[in-house]
Chain A
Amino acid sequence: MSAASNHNWFDTESGILDRRIFTDEEIYQEELQKIFGRAWNFMCHESQVPEEGDFFMNWIGEDEVIIVRDREGTINVLLNSCPHRGNTVCRAELGTTKSFVCSYHGWNYDLNGRLIGMPSEEHFYRNPMDKNDWGLTPAAKVESYKGFVFATLDPEAPPLVDYLGWVGRLGIDFMAAQGELEFLDGVHKNRVQCNWKLAVDNVYDWYHVKVSHGSALKIGMIGEESMAPMDQMVLLGEFGHGIGGPGITEEMFQESVARLSGSEGEQIWYDRNVRQRMKPEVTEMLGPVGKRSFGHPNIFPNLWVALTRQVCLRIPRGPYETELWWFNFQPKHVPVEQRQNAIFMQNHLFGPAGILEQDDGENWSHSTRGAKGSFARTRPLNFTMGKGQDQVLHDESGQSRIETVVNEHGQRWTYQSWQEWMNAASWPELMQNHSLPPTGEI
């Protein structure tokens, strides 16, 4: 049990952040326990492990886990560490297997993580040992929402749907709204020399596009009207989830519907999205406000749901290093050409060779470096954009939102929530002391 604390690294009154949170080793170790050790962490999509014995490896903080489908069809999440000496029992990053065998002494485990065999058990273990006590440690809970599998190591964590809340669920609904999804084989993985939170902070950052991605805009890889629009919508959810980015008004939505229903067809960049969202079942799923958001969701702590049918996980590798994993999806039933075009964008925008994302890593790594100097680290960081200038608007559906211009509401909400996680000693305490999404002036 970790202790409650009263850190004020992020001053919610002023919007000023203490940049030590990007480099301090002690803070990082505390994050592994209090953030990753408690949160519902994204593991994989159900279609990545469709059959008995299919497995995929992922991480919860710096703990490696095996995600494997068992004989009953249940997906288990197991700590990849043999209870005998701690060795890993699986070293492939994906595959299909009947069991997991430790390469050190041969203890072996079934697809539920149960210890089923130890070489020469009867000869050497003359003292009785109950094998039921010595299986691979399972995650406390494994649940999925619309095919996306999450796990938590904390038995006190609330159910996944409650954890996600309407904002986190909406983030995944943006994916689900595209039809029945299948995972495309191949996760793009690379390492950036940055603190994981800087990559997360960037999810909401529609200020950097014209500068960071100026070259991609100039060559026409991305369009300025869709990537740097003025009209923005921000949705903030309990426990740190958020969606930030382009949003349109109900009037614009209806005008788009009229264009698409009449002879005009697609004229404006969001018409294509509206075509999908005007379907009654999708409108119903996303809600009257959600259907008008084309922003970037972050499922707290570290899962970005991109608009390109991709999700990007930002896995911490120490305070100065982060692995970026891109999971790619396509709807099952789309014309071949549409599918190929979509795959083309997935391969060419993001990932280490992605024409868009190439330029992000250097900014994040140099921002991290900017917190290393003993003097630099004493200098505050400014997260004040638009602070106090906007109103949270209510909707009878319950979908509260901010409709404004480019802003830093999402980033402030992330650091505020992160700090509450870090100050709480346990899930019950976090439940008591976390901020509800803001109302009124923000």
Chain B
Amino acid sequence: MARVDAEPLAAADGRNLTSSYQKLDMQQRMLLKFEVEEFLFMEADLLDSRRYDEWLECLTDDIHYWMPIRRTTTAREVEREFTKPGGMAFFDDDKSVLALRVKRLAIGRAWAEDPPSRTRRLITNIKILGYDGEEVSVASNFQLYRSRLNSEEDNWIGRREDKLRRADGGFKLSQRHIYLEQTVILSQNMSSLF
């Protein structure tokens, strides 16, 4: 079931880094960032190459995977731009729901992905927001390009706020909050994972 502990969109300018991260010297920060990048690129690759079961392995059991609904508001009321955690959302998944999405693809008759889409994820502007020795908060920008059948294209661009938790000598994803730059989703479905 959906959890309701999501945070509001954090400032993206890096000024709110937690103190434990600020205590790291430049070399330690570079190493941490390298580790984070390696993880994010690896899991994007798994999705691009349709290795969904392996992707599921990269998630903690308590992951919260969430994409709120976004609205066009006036500048004065911009705090109403995103729906709130626990309410309506495009994705509000725990691991069991993500596993259902993956399972669906494997058993046939998932017509939105059969024939399978071709996807490519570009992950960029990676910025560490905080680190407490156990969990890294990291923001990244993404472009998810999907080509389907002969000539159908979708382009999803947005920002993700992830949490990567130390596990098994590497990281596992414990939070993915996805903020898409669209209000009306200009696609007939979102059968891809972000």
Contacts and interface: CB of A to CB of B under 8 A. Distances in A.
Contacts of B87: 184-186, 343
Contacts of A361: 112, 188-189
A96 B88 contact: no
Nearest to B192: A353
Nearest to B114: A215
Interface string B151-194: 00000000000000000000000000000000111111111000
Pick from A95, A96, A211, A219 the residue with the most CB of B within 10 Å. Answer: A219
B184 A190 contact: yes
Contacts of A154: none
Interface string A191-204: 11110000000000
Interface in A322-356: 323, 328, 340-341, 343-344, 346-348, 351-353, 355
A219 B188 contact: no
Nearest to A327: B88
A347 B2 contact: yes
A191 B69 contact: no
Given A95-B73, A188-B90, A359 B112 contact: yes
A188 to B, nearest CB: 6
Nearest to A323: B184
A357 interface: yes
Given A94-B71, A219-B104, A355-B100, A186 B89 contact: yes
A215 to B, nearest CB: 4
Contacts of A84: none
**Chain A: interface size category:** 35 or more
Contact of B2 (A187, A218, A344, A352): A344
Contacts, number: 137
Contacts of A341: 1
Interface string B129-164: 000000000000000000000000000000000000
B101 interface: yes
Given A218-B109, A353-B90, A361-B112, A91 B100 contact: no
Interface residues of B, number: 42
B110 interface: yes
A363 interface: yes
Contact of A191 (B92, B93, B186, B191): B186
A91 B188 CA distance: 24
A325 B167 CA distance: 41
A341 B1 CA distance: 8
A316 to B, nearest CB: 14
B187 A190 contact: yes
Given A191-B188, A215-B107, A362-B112, 16 more contacts: A92-B71, A93-B72, A95-B73, A97-B74, A186-B89, A189-B183, A189-B185, A190-B190, A191-B185, A215-B104, A343-B86, A343-B87, A347-B89, A347-B90, A347-B91, A358-B112
Interface of B: 1-2, 67-69, 71-74, 77, 80, 83-84, 86-93, 97, 100-101, 103-105, 107-112, 183-191
